[in-house]
């Protein structure tokens, strides 16, 4: 991940292949074409994958969003009717609200905790074992993590509710009550992802040159103000990357919901991705599902654009 | 079949051999080879494995490969399989699902071959065979079993509460005060201090044993096991006609009164709150002694009688305001997928599944009631041999107090609308009158 923060010297990067080319190919005429062939050969697998699994499905998805399509049979062109229906669909607006609630809780907690962890990793926990251990939850499949917490937080038999009862408090319906269902899911995913996010930020911390800190301490800066005035501003490009990636990721929350509450109670966890899945795969309304997916795609594009634009993620203050 | 244009665009890149284009089966193919068969109930798997073995013995050219997938994943897996060309040749079909398959032409009409092979449709319990005739008048399934609803109850708890088996067998119910049914439920509810639900000082927020268990709002199944046995006694029907109704009646006061009464049990502490049931298994809670009564279908007999240390009684559903009981009558069938490449062999297997030879095997395992009348009787005997009295289930058929599971188009979309609406009512968040709005949404599906 360090490559993102540390722009390699353009002269150096371009220089290396130039040298080897001179050695390998004596004739200038064939050099270009030969390289192109080799390049295409190496690019081809990724290109095929990109076209087959991203480009074609995306274009087809956009096309399907203007049709009525039940997967069995042929799609029927209905113009923008799906989009008109979505605008009036209370479940869509509910899904948007629920998803936003999830994203906000998840991102705020995850970023704050990950930043804290990263600084601890940077300053205190130098042991690779501890740093590695922080990544453990991330190595677990989403579904497994979700089910694990689903059992531990179960109202009747969950160990956490047992402990809550021992302390004299009433049991909590973590997944069953409407006000708890989304925060619970957001917390589970925060737990799973924060180690990984911390690692990204940690990489960014290491890219900040020590000389800056030395200068700060010579000027008499305290640890707290060093953090706010030096660490955080210089970390901005990494934090933007982290935010863009995690926001996009958490807008697409699906598996945790699918294996636990499946949209319920009532509509409390009917997040956008789950609603898309429900309309498309459960109700065989693939046209409507595609239209919802296109809208989610647009939302994510706008969110990512705003983040990049206003947080100046592509510029570093180090230069 | 699907996707041809898009596939053409990347034909150069697609080295994959796509089996997506599922060609129709040619009738000329001989009835041999391996056919695939899907079912969802693990409890029935051994019985049908036995049938498959017997079938291959009688037809050495055909083998049957059975795959069992849990109900939750069964239908999406099946639909995706149909789209991808990998669906099974034969599969267990459900009344609430098959209209969607008919609409998209995924099923093979069986009429020709069963007429040729002289399958006797009158051998099945009354009404079961008619359910599988589509709006086009053609037959798309042969009945395999049927089920009705009854009350499973914990006999030890009933005795402690002073309720006799006779009383449990003659419960009455009405939507106003719940009749003796609610009295029994209240009596069977016990709080943490040992106070019963009908005693003063009962703490409804600290209940140890609920009188009635709750698996969920059951809206996705039209209340099959949870409230349809009550609402139907008021004369309410789910749709304007059945099968192929196009107007739903969730706006009817009779239904809404029933649901309000049912939801009130949770408010009174006689039934778990909906929020506490997420992720829980109602039957297992019954097995753990946390509920005294569970209403459920006859396919659950094995599970309920299988809990160690629980002495289970089976009582008929209560009599309604007009003195009659009611139970949804559901029947499964086996259907042949239109994309099969071994149509003749597939239909032969369906006919075997629908024959007394196989249904007697199923009967002997005492798991469900087979569709053939004589096999049903054998199943009842097999249950009796296991010391299980199933008369509460069979009584509905004898007394003709059954009504058919609603068969309509758009079933999955109806579930998608009704489930959250019903959840909100059972959770105590909205009154049952809020179902009227959901009903309008449902009816709008048919207005197109």
Tens of pLDDT along B120-172? 999 998 888 988 998 899 999 999 999 999 999 999 999 999 999 999 999 99
B6: nearest CB among A56, A71, A156:
A56
pLDDT band for position B60 (cuts 50, 70, 90): very high
Mean pLDDT of B181-186: 96
Phi, psi of A62 (to 5 degrees): -65, -45
- Residue A216 is predicted with a pLDDT of 84
Q: Which residues of chain B does A71 touch, with a Cβ-Cβ cutoff of 8 Å? A: 2, 79-80, 82-83
- Is A72 within 8 Å of B104 when comparing Cβ atoms? yes
Lowest mean pLDDT among B114-128, B164-178, B260-274: B114-128
- Taking CB atoms and an 8 Å limit, are B83 and A72 in contact across chains? yes
Tokens of B92: 């267990």
Whether residue A197 contacts residue A111, with contact meaning beta carbons closer than 8 Å, is answered with yes
Average pLDDT over residues B395-424: 91
Within 8 A of B79 by CB-CB distance, chain A residues are 71-72, 281, 284
Average pLDDT over residues B199-207: 92
Longest Cα separation, chain A? 84
Distance from C-alpha of A64 to C-alpha of A79, rounded to nearest angstrom: 10
Check whether B17 has a pLDDT greater than 50. no
Q: Give residue-wise pLDDT tens across range A258-274.
A: 999 888 788 999 999 99
Of B9, B275, B416, the CB nearest to A278: B416
Rounded average pLDDT over A59-84: 90
- Reported as a pLDDT band with limits 50, 70 and 90, residue A317 is low
List pLDDT tens digits, range B335-389. Answer: 999 999 999 999 999 999 999 999 999 999 988 999 999 999 999 999 999 889 9
Question: Inter-axis angle of helices A232-251 and A178-207, to 10 degrees?
Answer: 140
Q: What is the CA radius of gyration of chain A?
A: 25
DSSP state, B110? -
Determine the pLDDT at residue B16. Answer: 34
Tokens of B51: 């049938």
Is B447 an 8 Å CB contact of chain A? no
Which residues are paired to B404 by β-bridges?
B329
β-sheet with B190-191: strand ranges across: B190-191, B207-212, B291-297, B149-154, B312-315
Report pLDDT for B1.
37
- The Cα of A188 is separated from the nearest Cα of chain B by a number of Å equal to 16
> How do beta strands B149-154 and B312-315 pair?
antiparallel
Q: What is the mean pLDDT of chain B?
A: 89
pLDDT tier for residue B11 given thresholds of 50, 70 and 90: very low
| Kind and range of the H or E run holding B71 | helix B71-84
pLDDT beyond 70 at B7: no
Partners of residue B100 in chain A, C-beta under 8 Å: 284
Tell me whether B279 touches chain A (CB under 8 Å). Answer: yes
The two three-digit tokens of residue A34, written as one number: 């030969």
Decide if B274 and A176 are in contact by the 8 Å CB cutoff: yes
Q: Distance (Å, rounded) from C-alpha B384 to C-alpha B73?
A: 33
Contact status of B138 with chain A (Cβ, < 8 Å): no
List Cα–Cα distances, B14 to A42, A45, A47, in angstroms: 18, 12, 12
Length of chain A as a residue count: 319
Cis omega (within 30 of 0) on the bond before A265? yes
Mean pLDDT score, A39-57: 92
Q: Residues with Cβ < 8 Å from B389, sequence gap 6 or more?
A: B314, B383
Greatest alpha-carbon pair distance for chain B in Å reads: 79
Q: Does B412 touch chain A (CB under 8 A)?
A: yes
A98 and A182 in contact (C-beta within 8 Å)?
Answer: yes
pLDDT tens-place string over residues B433-447? 999 999 999 999 998
B70 interfacial to chain A (CB closer than 8 Å): no
| Average pLDDT of the residues of chain A | 84
Query: What is the pLDDT, as a whole number, of residue B448?
Result: 65
- pLDDT score at A45: 92
Please give the Cα distance from B318 to B230 (Å, whole number).
Answer: 8
CB contact under 8 A, A173 and B423: no
More confident residue, B229 or A305: B229
Q: Please report the pLDDT score of residue B71 as a whole number.
A: 87
> Residue B424 and residue B141: Cα distance in Å, rounded?
36
What are the DSSP calls for B250-274, one per residue?
TT-HHHHHHHHHHHHHHHHTSS--G
Stretch A236-252: mean pLDDT, rounded? 87
The torsion angle over the Cα atoms of residues A249, A252, A256 and A258, rounded to 10 degrees, is -160
Q: Which of B133, B190, B138 is nearest to B162 (CA)?
A: B190
At residue B91, φ and ψ (nearest 5 deg) are -145, 155
| pLDDT beyond 50 at A13 | no
User: Which of B184, B413, B239 has the alpha carbon at shortest distance from A278?
Assistant: B413
Chain A residues within an 8 Å CB radius of B2: 71-72, 74
Output the six-digit token pair for B28. 């000329």
pLDDT digits (tens, 9 = 90+) for A191-223: 999 999 998 999 888 888 888 888 888 888 888
Is the Cβ pair B277, A176 closer than 8 Å? yes
Sign of CA dihedral B251, B257, B262, B268: positive
Pick from B79, B80, B275: CB nearest A177: B275
* Cross-chain residue pair B279–A175, CB shorter than 8 Å: yes
pLDDT tops 80 at residue A24: no
For chains A and B, what is the number of CB pairs under 8 angstroms?
A: 98
Q: Is the ipTM of this complex over 0.90?
A: no
Chain A neighbors of B429, CB-CB under 8 A: 178, 266
Please, which residues 9-28 of chain B have a Cβ atom closer than 8 Å to chain A?
9-10, 13-14
Q: Which of B85, B272, B278 to mutate to test the interface with A (most CBs of A within 10 A)?
A: B278
The pLDDT of residue B238? 94
What phi-psi label fits residue B179: left (phi over 0), alpha (psi between -120 and 50 degrees) or beta? left
Q: Which residues of B touch A263 (CB under 8 A)?
A: 420
The string of pLDDT tens digits covering residues B310-328 is 999 999 999 999 999 999 9
| CB atoms B285 and A156 under 8 Å | yes
In this structure, what is the dihedral angle of CA atoms B50, B52, B55, B57, given to the nearest 10 degrees? -70
Mean pLDDT value across residues A6-19: 43
How many helices and strands (H and E) does chain B possess?
Answer: 18, 12
Contact: B423, A71; criterion CB under 8 Å:
no
């Amino acid at each position: 991940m360090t490559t993102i923060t540390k722009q390699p010297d353009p002269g150096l990067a371009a220089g290396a292949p130039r040298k080897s080319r001179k050695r390998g190919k004596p004739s200038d005429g064939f050099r270009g074409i030969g390289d192109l062939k080799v390049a295409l050969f190496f690019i081809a697998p990724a290109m095929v994958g990109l076209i087959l699994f991203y480009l074609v499905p995306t274009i087809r998805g956009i096309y399907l969003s203007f049709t009525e399509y039940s997967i069995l049979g042929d799609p029927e062109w209905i113009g923008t009717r799906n989009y008109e229906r979505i605008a009036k669909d209370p479940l869509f607006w509910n899904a948007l609200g629920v998803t936003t609630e999830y994203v906000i809780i998840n991102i705020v907690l995850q970023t704050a905790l990950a930043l804290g962890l990263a600084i601890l990793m940077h300053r205190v926990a130098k042991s690779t074992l501890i740093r590695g251990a922080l990544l453990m939850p991330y190595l677990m499949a989403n579904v497994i993590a979700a089910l694990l917490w689903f059992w531990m937080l179960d109202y009747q038999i969950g160990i956490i509710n047992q402990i809550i009862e021992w302390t004299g408090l009433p049991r909590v319906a973590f997944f069953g009550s409407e006000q708890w269902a989304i925060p619970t899911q957001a917390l589970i995913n925060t737990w799973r992802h924060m180690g990984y996010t911390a690692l990204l930020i940690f990489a960014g911390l290491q890219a900040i040159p020590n000389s800056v800190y030395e200068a700060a301490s010579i000027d008499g800066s305290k640890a707290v103000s060093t953090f706010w005035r030096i660490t955080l501003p210089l970390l901005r490009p990494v934090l933007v990357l982290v935010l863009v990636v995690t926001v996009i990721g958490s807008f697409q929350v699906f598996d945790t919901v699918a294996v636990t509450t499946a949209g319920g109670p009532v509509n409390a966890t009917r997040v956008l991705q789950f609603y898309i899945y429900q309309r498309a795969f459960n109700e065989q309304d693939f046209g409507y599902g595609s239209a919802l997916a296109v809208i989610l795609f647009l939302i994510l594009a706008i969110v990512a654009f705003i983040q990049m634009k206003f947080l100046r993620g592509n510029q570093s203050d180090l230069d | 079949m699907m996707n041809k244009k898009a596939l053409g665009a990347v034909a150069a890149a697609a080295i994959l051999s796509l089996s997506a284009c599922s060609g129709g089966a040619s009738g000329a193919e001989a009835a041999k080879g391996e056919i695939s068969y899907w079912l969802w109930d693990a409890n029935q798997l051994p019985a049908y494995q036995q049938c498959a073995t017997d079938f291959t013995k009688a037809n050495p050219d055909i083998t049957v490969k059975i795959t069992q997938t849990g109900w939750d994943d069964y239908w999406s897996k099946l639909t995706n399989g149909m789209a991808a060309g990998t669906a099974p040749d034969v599969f267990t079909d459900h009344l609430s699902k098959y209209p969607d398959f008919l609409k998209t032409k995924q099923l093979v009409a069986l009429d020709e071959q069963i007429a040729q092979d002289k399958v006797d449709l009158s051998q099945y319990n009354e009404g079961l065979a008619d359910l599988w005739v589509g709006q086009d008048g053609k037959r798309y399934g042969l009945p395999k079993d049927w089920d009705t609803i009854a009350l499973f109850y914990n006999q030890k708890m009933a005795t402690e509460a002073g309720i006799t088996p006779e009383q449990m067998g003659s419960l009455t119910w009405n939507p106003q005060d719940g009749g003796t049914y609610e009295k029994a439920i209240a009596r069977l509810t016990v709080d943490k201090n040992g106070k019963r639900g009908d005693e003063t000082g009962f703490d409804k927020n600290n209940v140890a044993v609920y009188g009635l268990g709750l698996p969920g709002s059951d809206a996705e199944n039209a209340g099959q096991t949870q409230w349809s046995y009550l609402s139907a006694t008021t004369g309410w029907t789910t749709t304007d006609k059945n099968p192929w109704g196009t107007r739903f009646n969730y706006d009817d006061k009779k239904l809404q009164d029933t649901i309000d009464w049912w939801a009130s049990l949770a408010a009174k502490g006689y039934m778990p709150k909906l929020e506490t049931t997420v992720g829980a298994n109602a039957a297992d809670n019954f097995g753990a002694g946390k509920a005294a009564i569970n209403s459920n279908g006859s396919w659950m007999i094995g599970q309920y009688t299988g809990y160690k240390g629980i002495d289970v009684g089976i009582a008929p559903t209560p009599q309604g305001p007009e003195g009659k009981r009611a139970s949804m009558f559901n029947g499964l069938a086996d259907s042949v997928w239109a994309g099969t490449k071994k149509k003749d062999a597939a239909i032969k297997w369906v006919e075997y599944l629908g024959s007394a030879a196989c249904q007697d095997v199923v009967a002997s395992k005492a798991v469900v009631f087979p569709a053939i009348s004589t096999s049903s009787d054998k199943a009842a005997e097999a249950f009796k041999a296991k010391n299980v009295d199933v008369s509460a289930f069979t009584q509905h058929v004898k007394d003709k107090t059954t009504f058919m599971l609603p068969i309509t188009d758009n079933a999955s979309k109806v579930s998608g609308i009704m489930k959250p609406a019903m959840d909100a009512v059972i959770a105590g968040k909205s009154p049952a009158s809020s179902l009227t709005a959901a009903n309008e949404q449902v009816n709008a599906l048919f207005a197109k």
